[in-house]
Amino acid sequence: MQQQGMQQDMQPQITGSPTTIFPGQSSIMPGTQQQPTFQQQQPAFPFPSFTTQPSTPQLPLFEQSYIENILRLNLDKPVTVYATFENNNQWNAKIFRGELEAAGRDHVIISESPTGTRYIIPMVFVNYVTFEGPISYSYPFGPQTTRE
């Protein structure tokens, strides 16, 4: 038992107030000088040496109700497209009648039945579209319906 007491007595004793040194703080006495030292800080996490791409594209859970989606649901139907072309002296406003062939995010394609002429109309010029008869319309949160 005496040996344990001696080991405890051999432990160094710290007297005075404890000193805590924070990062960026110096442990030298006031009034003395020391050359500044700079340490390169390591990031908290390692940076990857390459970037990763998702293996499959993330698709939305539902398709939103944009005009091109409504037009796509009504392909091959008779349609009238009203378009305005600003700063055009010959035809500022034009009406296109025909069969709806295709619709994209930025364009609509109309096929004129008697002549077979196909018009690709940029959506920025389209004011509105009318259909002759019922249209198919699918609201993003419900089943596909037909409106009359």
pTM value is 0.52
Phi, psi of 82, rounded to the nearest 5 degrees: -100, 120
Question: Does residue 90 belong to any structural domain of this protein?
Answer: yes
Number of domains in the chain: 1
Question: Does residue 27 belong to any structural domain of this protein?
Answer: no
- How far is the C-alpha of 36 from the C-alpha of 40, rounded, in Å? 13
| CATH number of the domain within which 78 lies | 2.30.30.100
Question: Does residue 71 belong to any structural domain of this protein?
Answer: yes
Question: Does residue 1 belong to any structural domain of this protein?
Answer: no
Model pLDDT for residues 18-65, shown as the tens digit of each residue: 555 555 555 555 565 666 566 666 656 665 565 556 566 555 555 566
pLDDT value at position 148? 61
Question: Does residue 88 belong to any structural domain of this protein?
Answer: yes
- How far is the C-alpha of 107 from the C-alpha of 119, rounded, in Å? 10
Question: Does residue 42 belong to any structural domain of this protein?
Answer: no
- How far is the C-alpha of 21 from the C-alpha of 28, rounded, in Å? 10
Q: Determine the 3-state secondary structure of 127 from DSSP.
A: strand
Question: Does residue 139 belong to any structural domain of this protein?
Answer: yes
**What domain range is 93 assigned to?**
67-147
Question: Does residue 31 belong to any structural domain of this protein?
Answer: no
**pLDDT class for 94, splitting at 50, 70, 90?**
very high
